[in-house]
Structure 1
Amino acid sequence: MPSRRVGPPLTIAADHSYAARLTEAGPPDEPVRSVERWTLDGPEPYAVRLPLGRPERAGADVLPLSDGRVLIRRQVAAGRHTFSLLYPTGHGTGERALGSLECPELALLPPSPDGISVFALLPGERSTGVWLVAGGAYGPELVADVPGRCSGGAWLDREGRLLAVDRQMPGGGPVKAVVVDLERDGEVTPLLQIAPDSNDRLLTADADSGLLLVRSDAPGQDRLGWGVQGSCLPVRFPECLRTQDTVLTPFAVQPGQMLMPESCAVALRVDGAAGSWVGLWRPAGRRLHQFAAPGGWLAGTGFWTREGVLHLPYSREDTPCAVALMEAPVDGPRPVAASGTDTSATAPASGVCKPVPLGQAPLIGRTAPG
């Protein structure tokens, strides 16, 4: 039976070795949900189902670890969430229970850079708890309590110490990205302060180059911008990322470009009336290149190699697990090859760097690349 994607399309491990998703099979009125793990670090990608004796409930979250296990979060009752690790065995699927949390809201953070830890945000009335839900010694563990309501989440270093979140303080006010130091009792420092009353959110970050992709309404409307962690230069808002009929969302940044943030290739999901496709842009460039995604692309997922090759996972009935590869030359994208059967895609860690708030951007008379 062909599978249908539910929930997030695919979550990729921090080192790109594995990925995981929740799939559905069977009739629409009685779907059977199960976890599917993809192996991405071999010569060809392949998928392994991790079924248990019962189907998974709708709304479960899955997140792969770098050792091949898959964390699953299930909401088993109103306000009660359980966590388990799933892994293939010779007789089917093994499961290790990790404990549970009682909370009305919970959001898993992106895969931790260490590959084995999983964190979650638990917003409360006046603060947000950062919980370690996998990788600890005794089940879920509170590691930080951040004043205000936090959302989002991006890692700023390769050690899994500096976590950036978007925070709104109790009583309202603008949303500002801040940094939570998990090794200093959750010490909070500002990251984005573009204008006093602007909403400044961090969308993604690259630990090697320090490149930050942000969304802010400081220019008068929500715009995509970029800055560099620890830089004294302002956030810049390129004109080529200002669109009228589409929505741009960055999902992958080329790693390994130390001290060269302007050269990083950035992949963006482009959503419009015709569907979703892929955009390619570099801070040093003045153009957003747009090209068709492979059929069955798990939209908004993918990763770059250090050499500048974009991997786009896709799944369709004739090819349930595959990855299309696309190179990113300076003058625009071109197809290279595909892992699987599709060939139709067309047109080192550094030490911990203390974040410095990015200053107020000059919103008029800019000469930055755009």
Structure 2
Amino acid sequence: MTACAIETTAEDDDRDPGAAWPAGFTITANGAYAARLAGAGDALYVERWTLDGPEPYAVPLPLDQPEERGTQLLPLADGRVLVARRVDGRRNTFSLLYPTGPATGELRLGSVEAPGSEHLVLLPPSPDGICAYAMCVGPDTTTLWLVAGGAFGPERVAEVKGRCTGGVWLDRTGRMLALDRRLGDGPVKAVAVDLERGGEVTPLLQITEDSDDRLLLADPDSGLLLIRSDAPGHDRLGWGVLGSLLPVRFPECLRLDDAAVTPFAVQPGQVLMPESCAVALRIDAAGGSWVGVWQPSSRRMAQLAAPQGWLAGAGLWTAEGVLRLPYATDGVPCGLAGLEMPPEPEPEPEPATVVEEPRVCRPVPLQQAPLTDRGPAR
């Protein structure tokens, strides 16, 4: 499983059209558990999936009252599920749900206020599997909260100047977080936030001075980054390597005229081999959604049919190169389908857009973060 960007809310005018984290199905960083809202109509309840056994299985976690459709969920590595609920239009409450025999246990953690035009979203599962974070996005400032895993309920851990979206973990410890930040009316730029240094901010992506440069996925093993930027003249999917001197590349094979292409998972375990990483992509068109698979070393993107009932945009790679896609149908309410990376045909030359400017900034090397010669934390 790899870190990925969150899906922002409809009220966010800076939202990324290619945000990769599906709101309806969330998988832990280690791929062991997942959670979603199940049920029909207004009778919604939390459902936890176990994915690391011989066969996947689901455990319902209903309470006395049904969940609202806007309830946010985040599974933890110990099998509990964090639930974030919006109350009275401004207060966000947090609870941990877990099975207790035939019933559902609930541990209430506290609440966070999001007044006025602010809104709160959960960040993707932390790599440590224990902590859970949320960000409260205001017009000019974004506040990061530790909402599970702390000692005394929700704790404010950082305040970042600007309006932030996205959310990608850059390491395996849950220290370095990438956010897509807009300052005032300026362009969107991905920045790295050091949670162990009070939210110290480091520039992460600046392909050109005026381009919107967002980080969609990052794989700490290989350093592969999946990027969306309008530096080529319009929004394109590109890839780069954390700390590399090479520019970001925008392969033509990732462009489809009548469909949106969004990466959602990167093959783990490919240490220092970013070009060999398999990448899973969600393809959305008028006729439905299906799956693309691609490697940076490849000249083509293979397009594959998704299993019936696929929870679109959700999935994870094994280190061996098998893509596991969760699906739910009337006959199989909890299933995982396996797709393998198809063999690469004979290579054909394919042009790739490369944006190089005198001011191109490569992604900040993770081993150099936090960097020296910076101003005070913001």
Q: TM-score range by the shorter chain?
A: 0.7 to 0.9
Partner residue, 1:19? 34
Whether the aligned pair in 2 keeps the contact of 1:179 and 1:188 (CA below 8 Å) is: yes
Structure 2 matches for 1:213-292, cutoff 5 A?
Answer: 213-292=226-305
Q: Are the structure 2 counterparts of residues 263 and 330 from structure 1 closer, same or farther at C-alpha, using a change threshold of 3 Å?
A: farther
Partner residue, 2:312? 299
Could you tell me the TM-score, scaled by structure 2's length?
0.85
Partner residue, 1:134? 148
Structure 2 matches for 1:1-370, cutoff 5 A?
Answer: 8-25=23-40, 28=41, 31-103=42-114, 104-169=118-183, 171-331=184-344, 353-354=367-368
**Structure 1 vs Structure 2 CA RMSD:** 1.6
Distance 1:284 1:352 in 2: 23
> What 5-or-longer segments of structure 2 have no aligned partner?
1-21, 346-364, 372-378
Q: Are the structure 2 counterparts of residues 212 and 355 from structure 1 closer, same or farther at C-alpha, using a change threshold of 3 Å?
A: farther
Deviation at 1:356, TM superposition (A): 10
Distance 1:310 1:109 in 2: 23
Aligned identity (percent) is 65
Q: Which amino acid aligns with 1:163?
A: L
Q: Which amino acid aligns with 1:147?
A: K
Distance 2:105 2:208 in 1: 51
Q: Are the structure 2 counterparts of residues 142 and 356 from structure 1 closer, same or farther at C-alpha, using a change threshold of 3 Å?
A: closer
Q: SS of 1:22's equivalent?
A: strand
Deviation at 1:8, TM superposition (A): 2.3
Of the two structures, which has the highest relative contact order with CA contacts closer than 8 Å and spacing of 6 or more?
A: 2
Deviation at 1:144, TM superposition (A): 0.8
Distance 2:369 2:235 in 1: 24
Q: Which amino acid aligns with 1:70?
A: V
> What 5-or-longer segments of structure 1 have no aligned partner?
1-6, 333-350, 358-370
Partner deviation per Cα, 1:140-194 (whole Å, 9 max, x = no partner): 111111111111000000010100000001x211000000011111111111100
Distance 1:330 1:245 in 2: 26
Q: Which amino acid aligns with 1:266?
A: V
Partner deviation per Cα, 1:267-300 (whole Å, 9 max, x = no partner): 0000011100000000000101001000000000
Deviation at 1:127, TM superposition (A): 1.4
Partner deviation per Cα, 1:114-147 (whole Å, 9 max, x = no partner): 0011101111232111110000000111111111
Whether the aligned pair in 1 keeps the contact of 2:56 and 2:334 (CA below 8 Å) is: yes
Q: SS of 2:313's equivalent?
A: coil
Distance 2:366 2:103 in 1: 41
